[in-house]
Chains A and B, each alone.
Chain A
């Protein structure tokens, strides 16, 4: 039994009970001139929509149960990851060409265990307190790393000195308005340079339910979701920051998780409660990175050879297209 409750004058301040109300199909909320009344009608319309949706769901569930085994399989919801535009450069794990490239690129010495990573962390000029603290925490997370202040020195002059002192990687944290917002990661003996935009930096004290300080043990590294060729090379860059043999006694793990071109960095301590359950506790800073450019040689913004730059107009056209 439905009452047509249109914008009639009969409905005064007291609305009738919602169950009895049905909106006639020609009714449109936007035609009411009075704002309060319109708002009220809109809310009621929304409630009704929700009820209908719930009823539909219940009906479907009943049908499914009635059919039992013969029910059609549940529909998989579409996610952005499902709908991702297929990238031609996706790495196939058995690809020989990729394997050959990786055996001969700049990270081969690291992966062959010929070099031990030694990292130099620095900032842009005149870092403010937050950046300084972030650098210190980053230095505790990455083993064998040193923080140096940049007192106005040019990067092009620092790099030969670093190479002379056997550093393998250089990290420059760019600062703007007292917060770190960019990261330049350069593999030193002539390696690629990646420039990232850094966001949501949380220092250790800002993380809730955090554990104690990270110890000196070498952490494990988890690299998730680096699928394309570009992603693969970036993943290798990150892996090259950490020494090759993690100390499992320390039970620390550093994670670089790529999701929709955003790389999330987290640092955890884990404990295996059983073979099917593991507990993790977050220590250490966290931040997210988004790749802006990848350059072939060491840092040279004017004359360097860029392997990949993020070009907004060409690359941001589709919401389902990702490059990493």
Chain B
């Protein structure tokens, strides 16, 4: 028997070949000189005396080069760098393997084509944007989520926003849109000319007296809250009257939007109540007035 045939019958078919990888459908050969990648009698580099492959250079300017193996076991092998031109390289393969079996020639050319094509694709992809996958670290993700929750609780966003808006109102950034008598109230405090400084409207006088009441009674909490509630109702009522008189679009828009809103705020919901309770308030108001006087 020809020794290579022996080799094949040992390695390829029956016994162990370390380059052989089996899968359900096929056997692959991991040998770097293998031409097709499959484990066959004709493509096993160990079991063929004449063998040739095309493979790419390991070094960075990866170009396909052509390897001739006289005998696979011997380290002697001829390496030929193929030309850069595709057609010329094919011709070179033909020249070098001129009297070789058709199978090897054909497979060499096929392999050469495949290599050139994937090298082209590599070069094109590196020029495009490359998406970098950054792995998430689970512990850190969990830590950050937890800290975010705690920060959210500590932030008390609604309160902060409300405070900021009220401050802006105080600092007069909204100008004349909102007609709360707070500025007149402040002036009254500072200059102690309550009656002369207040506006002439009778409605506003009532509000001012209420403000003064609140101010004097700040240390008594229970009464203060009641007063402030009534105050709000009052102001809502008076403000609505004012706006109706002055025909401000803002409040009308607000009332329209609130009436159409699906989930009404506490504010507009309260609006429905004063219509009933105001009569009650007006009875008690003269009593508070007498107290301050």
Contact = CB atoms under 8 A, between A and B. Distances in A.
Chains A and B belong together in one complex: yes
Interface of A: 79-81, 154-155, 197, 199-200, 209-212, 220, 222, 224, 248-249, 251, 253, 255, 257, 259-262, 264, 266, 268, 270-281, 288, 290, 312
A268 B169 CA distance: 16
A186 to B, nearest CB: 16
Nearest to B249: A249
B261 A212 contact: yes
Interface stretch (B39-47, B73-81, B150-158): B150-158
B250 A280 contact: no
Given A280-B158, A280-B161, A249 B254 contact: no
Interface in B252-285: 253-254, 257, 260-263, 265-267
A260 B161 contact: no
13 contacts: A222-B161, A222-B165, A259-B155, A262-B148, A264-B151, A270-B165, A271-B254, A272-B178, A275-B169, A278-B162, A279-B267, A280-B158, A281-B265
A211 to B, nearest CB: 6
A259 B151 contact: yes
Interface residues of B, number: 47
A79 B38 CA distance: 69
B162 A280 contact: yes
B157 A266 contact: yes
A274 B231 contact: yes
Contact of B152 (A211, A212, A264): A264
Given A200-B148, A212-B257, A273-B232, A259 B154 contact: yes
Given A80-B154, A155-B129, 15 more contacts: A212-B257, A251-B250, A255-B161, A257-B155, A257-B160, A264-B151, A270-B161, A271-B265, A274-B231, A275-B170, A276-B228, A278-B162, A279-B266, A288-B152, A312-B140
Interface in B159-182: 160-162, 164-166, 168-170, 174-175, 177-178, 180-182
A271 B258 CA distance: 10
B27 interface: no
A37 to B, nearest CB: 34
B101 to A, nearest CB: 46
B154 A273 contact: no
> Would you list the 3 A-B pairs with minimal beta carbon distance, nearest first?
A275-B180, A259-B155, A275-B182
Nearest to B254: A271
Nearest to B148: A262
Interface in B165-214: 165-166, 168-170, 174-175, 177-178, 180-182
B148 A253 contact: no
Contact of A199 (B145, B231, B235, B260): B145
B241 interface: no
Contacts of B152: 259, 262, 264, 288
A259 B181 CA distance: 34
B157 A264 contact: yes
Contacts of A210: 263
Given A272-B169, A277-B232, A209 B263 contact: yes
B148 A257 contact: no
Contacts of B161: 222, 253, 255, 257, 266, 268, 270, 280
B121 interface: no
B128 interface: yes
Contacts of B168: 220
A199 B235 CA distance: 42
Given A273-B267, A277-B232, A253 B165 contact: yes
A84 to B, nearest CB: 12
A224 B175 CA distance: 22
A211 B254 CA distance: 12
Contact of B164 (A224, A249, A251): A224
A224 B147 contact: no
A275 to B, nearest CB: 4
Contacts of B166: 275-276, 278
Contacts of B257: 211-212
A255 B261 CA distance: 22
B265 A81 contact: no
Nearest to A212: B261
B223 interface: no
B218 interface: no
